[in-house]
Amino acid sequence: MKIITPRIVILHCAATPDFIEADLCFDKFNVYDVDRWHRERGFQSCGYHWVVTRRGEIQAGRKCEADRVHEGAHCEGQNHHSIGICYIGMTTPTRYQIKSLQILFVLLNNMFNLTADKWYPHNYFNVSKSCPGFGLEAMKAMLTKEEK
């Protein structure tokens, strides 16, 4: 796999149903499902660097370490310089996912200086997509919001 220097982060949703916590299948999908879906589409592996489950578990996809980041397969024209993160669901991340996305925000900012102005929703680059279920400003507010 090609090694990249990340300059931006792109946030995606998995376009899976938005389950409610009482649903027995609340956390039905994970990185293994995404990996399988991507391989079925001809990718080498999961196209994202991180997948966040409905319960907020941060699961590794493509390699993303301080000294080595593999090129992703998540946003046409942007993979050569971006880290891809995908949360399971469609419209609104769960409170667990928001907390995990905030943790990834701090981690990636510390590792690569990827501040909030370097994070984008997938729909910023592909306006025909609704992924994720919100726009640029809402995403940045979510990432930097402090817990009370």
Give burial (CB, 10 Å; 0-12/13-18/19+) of 85: buried
Among the listed residues 106, 101, 73, the one whose alpha carbon sits nearest the alpha carbon of residue 4 = 73
**Can you give the pLDDT of all 148 residues of the chain as single tens digits?**
899 999 999 999 998 876 666 666 677 889 999 999 999 999 999 999 999 999 999 999 999 998 999 999 999 999 999 999 999 988 888 899 999 999 999 999 999 999 999 999 999 998 888 889 888 888 888 888 865 4
Let me know if residue 40 belongs to a domain.
yes
The predicted pLDDT at position 19 comes to 64
Give burial (CB, 10 Å; 0-12/13-18/19+) of 14: buried
CATH of the domain at 57: 3.40.80.10
Per the structure, the count of domains in the chain is: 1
The predicted pLDDT at position 142 comes to 87
- Close Cβ partners of 31 (under 8 Å, ≥ 6 residues apart): 46, 51, 59, 60, 61
d(CA 148, CA 138): 18
The predicted pLDDT at position 148 comes to 46
Q: What is the pTM of this model?
A: 0.92
d(CA 113, CA 137): 19
* Partners of 9 in the β-ladder: 83, 119
Q: Which residue has the tokens 């590792």?
A: 111
Q: What number of CA atoms fall less than 13 Å from residue 61's CA on the CB side?
A: 30
The predicted pLDDT at position 25 comes to 63
Q: What's the domain range around 133?
A: 8-15+27-144
